[in-house]
Chain A
């Protein structure tokens, strides 16, 4: 089935911008995706017709705002295949992981163990190190294979009766490798560990069925999933949310406040202290609805066709090497590469002059860079609106960097 990439592109106004005489070849979606009119319109509608605080006001604007905010929660829940009241809005994906590390972390004891992997984003490492400082938990690490996958063959040997949580990236933000989540869940059950999945790179590639995956926590960021900045999502099984103490204190998250004692609201309110990011949440709801309206089988085939075109093109440029799976199986359209003799930042800067936006550097995954003794990589991360002209412009830029900078 063919994919109407031109039709998708028309929904993203920024893609028709001309900057300094060059079109926008946006291949930095892993850092932040672009946003469609559906999202822009939803946020504008809130700001122009419904702007007010949520939950507490009785006036009409407050009612409108509350309804839009809760509808957004329902849209996000539908996107994940779960119930609305299991969705906690956070300030972002990092904020969601910190929430779990702080709040679920309070249920852990010194000597309990958290299992991460060598390819995690810093946001799935540092919150656990902070927890380790606070409470004396231990951190274990699953190594990666030479092709940039979490080495699940090592998983059984790293699980112990004290392993309470396994927290892993669904898709590596560097190598594009897809995690076999069900295999992790099956192994975790053997020792009674919970499983948290960082879906920052997976959510932008279509709806999920979290009950089918069997995980306990799932987090993702709005701005990487075509939504606004400043919004993220934590989903957790209701029994876990019920057991977790609050993270931030303030308005909205309470049952009853006295100076002697305060009781907590039930989830998700318990974890949404203060005025939430209302407009961004509404925008994210629209983004989830937009994603649910896309044919992701066709979109994924389209994206992986671009990955193949990229890999074939890079192979023709002397001195390029891909960090990550060479095949298209169990991988997503995030491709990191090195150009021998040229620093990734210089590759990225050259690409910018071709109108091509990519990310270069350590990608907040320094342990992974250390594993491969790399200063960094140049990362191409795609979305359904990318097309062959984006890849061809990138390949022309890489060839130019290879010719002029070494």
Chain B
């Protein structure tokens, strides 16, 4: 059944909506669209003087995987700079089988996506948007 992909942890991440919403006064914002499926993510961040994230908000018009990934990302992002976010990206890539090695939580939850190539961009879209916001 689809529960193979939509396992409890992924559904729970999406439903948690960690960081969902706009920030009132973001330092940076970026929007990413997936032209293939039409999913859209807007990420707002506030940064300190060293470029570390002090606040994050995301608006996702996309599928459950995209929502879950945005939620996972928001749960990890505060205190990280661009290099720290790149490390999280590697974790996501490991989870979906694009890089070798085991992924840590919460991205480990995305392991079933490794078998669904067409859905992997859904997981990566929030990370792409955050990368743009920090660029």
Contacts and interface: CB of A to CB of B under 8 A. Distances in A.
B118 to A, nearest CB: 9
Given A353-B1, A375-B61, 7 more contacts: A345-B39, A346-B63, A349-B119, A361-B37, A362-B38, A366-B38, A401-B2
A366 B2 CA distance: 27
Q: Which of A344, A400, A405 has the most CB of B within 10 A?
A: A405
B64 interface: yes
A353 B64 CA distance: 16
A349 B6 contact: yes
A391 B48 CA distance: 55
Contacts of A404: 2-3, 6, 11
A375 B39 contact: yes
B2 A375 contact: no
Interface string A194-209: 0000000000000000
Nearest to B61: A375
Interface in A369-392: 369, 375-376
Contacts, number: 59
B119 A361 contact: no
Given A350-B6, A353-B4, A375-B38, A343 B119 contact: no
Q: Which of B40, B64, B65 has the most CB of A within 10 A?
A: B64
B62 A343 contact: yes
Given A343-B63, A404-B3, A405-B6, A349 B116 contact: yes
Contact of A343 (B1, B36, B64, B116): B64
A352 B1 CA distance: 9
B13 interface: no
A352 B6 CA distance: 12
A125 to B, nearest CB: 14
B5 interface: yes
B5 A349 contact: yes
Contacts of B40: 375
A353 B65 CA distance: 16
Contacts of A343: 62-64, 67
A95 B92 CA distance: 38
B122 interface: yes
A169 B71 CA distance: 40
Nearest to B11: A405
A119 to B, nearest CB: 16
B2 A400 contact: yes
A369 B6 CA distance: 26
Contacts of B2: 349-350, 352-354, 400-401, 404
A405 B6 CA distance: 8
A397 B64 CA distance: 16
Nearest to A362: B38
A349 B64 CA distance: 11
A355 to B, nearest CB: 11
A376 B1 contact: no
B5 A369 contact: no
A219 B64 CA distance: 37
Contacts of A360: 37
A131 B122 CA distance: 33
B123 to A, nearest CB: 12
Interface in A314-342: 342
Interface string B13-45: 000000000000000000000001111100000
Contacts of A342: 64
11 contacts: A343-B63, A349-B5, A353-B2, A353-B3, A354-B1, A362-B38, A366-B38, A369-B38, A375-B61, A400-B1, A404-B11
Contacts of B64: 342-343, 345-346, 405
A136 B120 CA distance: 40
A354 B63 CA distance: 19
A85 B37 CA distance: 39
Nearest to A350: B2
